[in-house]
Amino acid sequence: MSLMRQIAWLVLAVVLAALVGAVGLSTLSLRELMQTQLALKNADNAQSLALALSQQQGDAELIKLLVSAQFDTGAYEFVRWRDAKGETVFERTGAAPRGQSPGWFRELVPIAARPGVAQVSSGWNAIGAVELKSHAGYAHDALWLASRRLLAWLLVVGMVAAVAAWAGLRRIRRPLDAAVAQAEGVLAGSYGQVAEPRVPELQRLIRAMNAMVQRVRDLFEAQAGQLLVLREQVHHDALTGVSTRKHFLAELDAALQRDDGPVVAGLVLVRLRDLTGLNARLGHVAVDDVLLTVVAALQAYPESVPGCRVGRLNGGDFALWLPAEGVAAETAQALADALRASLPAFGPGVQVALGAVELPRERPSSVWLGEADAALARAEHLSESRGGFVVDVMAEPGLGREQGEGLWREQLREALALQRGRLVEFPVRDRAGQVLHLECPLQLQIDGALQPASSWLPLAVRARLTAQVDLFAVSLALQAIAADGRARCINVAPASLADAAFLPQLRELLGHAPQAARGLLLDLAEAAATEHFERLLELGRQLRPLGVKLGLEHAGAGLAQVEKLYQAGLDYVKLDASVLLGVAGEAGRAAFVRGMVIMLRSLALKVYGEGVIDAMDAQALWDCELDGLTGPWVTASTPA
């Protein structure tokens, strides 16, 4: 039994005991008073009657007449005249009148008054005695009425006291409930503060709880800061601050595997020529400034275009990933112009070669790097004869859709209207091999064939159709969950959160399948936590009561920069492949992943890994204590 309930029962017991005790004591006191009054009345009436009888000179008939008159004028139980020998000479008796008090009350509180007795004489001779006793029924009625009035008054007082006690307990319970909610929030990864109450004892409790929660929050923020430092050490070049070769290649592989990028993308390689000769002529300090100038020109793109990535491949080689179609040549030329304007200030002989390629994202990363290296080699060869800054661009012929974007948009709308699509299922497994849930990317039937999201999602974003796409995918997932009971995960585009109609329609869709909704998981990109945090909070507030689980996918080091991540109300996080690839062969990367897991676990979040491609990385991630993995290796190892 809870403390508040125990206190409530205690207060109720005290009020009831006081009520019963007060009514009982008052009733007994009134009964004693009634008995005393009746006894005095009997004695007085007996003396008055005896005096009247003594004046009758012993005339028996007159005495009987007076006795009858006395009996008829009062409510007597009996009136007797006894002779000198004590024998009854004359007696009048009457039945007790029917009063208002119930029988059980008369039995519970009996009134027994002594009868009145007085001597009767004639002159100096005693001729007997008179004895009389009044009925107690009227006294019982008066006692019953007084007890009822007292009980009613005490009930009113008791009710007022109970209401006051309830209000007091509620006032006490409010800060206690807040403290309990605060403690539960800490377990769930939320670090909210509670207003201090006015009650001194509870004030000290809440103050201590707030201090503890603040300390835990400070520890979380300190841990997040340490992860940022570790990230810089592991993933970024010490001099330039851009991604190292290994991390850039991991980012490239992860970008090529995603469905939320364009069909065609670009890669630009930049090489500072004759780095050894520059170090000899200009010195290491000046060459470092040259490298920083090149990086500054490259960094302008990630700062303005989401999804761009910059990395340092080796001493003087840099790479720029462009997740957009038809911009590789223009970007390479713009970079050459910017460097042509800034680098000559460092002295003669500073030359840069640039190679750019534009390929379908379905090509493996080795093809991308091979073609880009070939373009860079051609540019470097040309620079030997031309000098200065040379750009070479290679674009695969026949790129682009065979039909116009307008027709694709119409076919996309038609596929959504006719619900032509299906979910492809990829398992997320725990260390024991059990399927935790199924990741289900959507394929739409466009131009007579099922197309992956990579071919139509960028168009859906531009046409503002992502909300309709996501609702269609959720409806397919709910149907599948209702059919086999297996949990399924659907990707929700960040653009859908910006659609005001998306959340009400989603709630309505989930309301039609409440049982299946409990098996639904929704993935949002890490950008949703950084760019649409308030909408993410609202999504969690409205969907969590329905049993839907909410998480972030493609999460990386940017999680440490998410403000108030502990208030996001997430259930899980899926770490991006760019963070996980190669973790088996690099202790620093493994330490970073382990730190991410510890930080996220402190927020009561499940942690899954994406894009696992080999068994060694998988084992290293299990050693980092991830809750589940997905990717080509997990799918390939699925039992037949």
Residues 6+ apart with CB under 8 A from 627: 430, 436, 572, 606, 607, 608
Q: Which is more confident, 9 or 387?
A: 9
Query: Looking at 174-178, 220-224, 421-425, which range is the least confident one?
Result: 220-224
Which of 31, 144, 132 is closest to 74 using CA atoms? 132
Report the alpha-carbon distance of residue 340 to residue 635 in Å, rounded: 49
Amino acid at 101: S
| Residues 48 and 126: beta-carbon distance below 8 Å | no
Within 10 Å of residue 441's Cβ, how many Cβ atoms?
18
Give me the residue label for tokens 């592989």.
Answer: 253
The whole-number average pLDDT for the span 612-636 is 91
Tell me which range, 53-67, 469-483, 598-612, is most confidently predicted by mean pLDDT: 469-483
Tell me which range, 41-45, 168-172, 326-330, 466-470, is most confidently predicted by mean pLDDT: 466-470
* CA distances in angstroms from 88 to 39, 96, 124, 463, listed in the order given: 22, 22, 21, 120
Planar angle of CA 425, 428, 433, nearest 5 degrees: 120
CB-count exposure of residue 9 (10 Å: 0-12, 13-18, 19+) = exposed
The whole-number average pLDDT for the span 603-619 is 90
At residue 616 the predicted structure's pLDDT band, cuts being 50, 70 and 90, is very high
At residue 307 the predicted structure's pLDDT band, cuts being 50, 70 and 90, is confident
Tell me the per-residue pLDDT of 538-595, one tens digit each, with 9 for 90 and over: 888 889 889 999 999 988 766 655 556 667 778 899 998 888 888 888 888 888 888 8
Q: Alpha carbon 352 to chain centroid distance?
A: 54
Report the alpha-carbon distance of residue 338 to residue 291 in Å, rounded: 14
Tell me the per-residue pLDDT of 505-544, one tens digit each, with 9 for 90 and over: 999 999 999 999 999 999 988 777 777 788 888 888 889 8
Q: Which is more confident, 517 or 639?
A: 517
The whole-number average pLDDT for the span 235-252 is 87
- Note the maximum CA span of the chain: 169
* CA distances in angstroms from 13 to 19, 21, 22, 60, 307, listed in the order given: 10, 12, 14, 64, 69
Give me the residue label for tokens 């695969």.
Answer: 396
The whole-number average pLDDT for the span 81-110 is 82
CATH class given for the domain over 264-395 = alpha beta
Q: Which is more confident, 266 or 528?
A: 266
Task: For domain 405-636, give the fold.
Answer: TIM Barrel (3.20.20)
User: How close are the terminal C-alpha atoms of the chain, in Å?
Assistant: 52
Report the alpha-carbon distance of residue 575 to residue 590 in Å, rounded: 13
Q: Which is more confident, 251 or 262?
A: 251
Give me the residue label for tokens 């004639």.
Answer: 122
| Predicted local distance difference test score (pLDDT) of residue 402 | 45
Percent of the chain exceeding pLDDT 70 equals 89
Mean confidence (pLDDT) of the chain: 83
Q: Where are the alpha helices (DSSP H) in 489-614?
A: 494-497, 502-511, 514-517, 526-531, 533-543, 577-580, 587-601
**So where are the chain's domains?**
3-159, 264-395, 405-636
Amino acid at 406: G
Residues 6+ apart with CB under 8 A from 129: 50, 81, 82, 86, 117, 118, 119, 120
The whole-number average pLDDT for the span 617-627 is 93
The whole-number average pLDDT for the span 127-133 is 88
Residues 6+ apart with CB under 8 A from 161: 15
Q: Which is more confident, 67 or 227?
A: 67
pLDDT at 327 over 90: no
Tell me the per-residue pLDDT of 1-37, one tens digit each, with 9 for 90 and over: 666 677 777 777 887 887 788 878 888 888 888 888 8
At residue 254 the predicted structure's pLDDT band, cuts being 50, 70 and 90, is confident
Give me the residue label for tokens 């897991």.
Answer: 597
pLDDT at 501 over 60: yes
Secondary structure (3-state) at 188: coil
* CA distances in angstroms from 250 to 48, 244, 582, listed in the order given: 122, 10, 8
Report the alpha-carbon distance of residue 181 to residue 183 in Å, rounded: 5
Can you name the residues that pair with 450 across neighbouring β-strands?
445
| Predicted local distance difference test score (pLDDT) of residue 398 | 46
- Label residue 283 left, alpha or beta by phi (over 0 means left) and psi (-120 to 50 means alpha): left
Query: In the sheet that 442-446 helps form, which strands lie side by side, from edge to edge?
Result: 421-423, 442-446, 449-451
**φ, ψ for residue 372, nearest 5 deg:** -65, -40
Number of H helices, E strands in the chain: 22, 20
The whole-number average pLDDT for the span 174-199 is 68
Amino acid at 540: G
43, HSE (Cβ side, Cα atoms, 13 Å)? 8
CATH class given for the domain over 3-159 = alpha beta
| Residues 58 and 66: beta-carbon distance below 8 Å | no
| Predicted local distance difference test score (pLDDT) of residue 2 | 63
Give me the residue label for tokens 């995603």.
Answer: 258
| Predicted local distance difference test score (pLDDT) of residue 586 | 83
Query: Looking at 200-209, 556-565, 593-602, which range is the least confident one?
Result: 556-565
| Predicted local distance difference test score (pLDDT) of residue 223 | 67
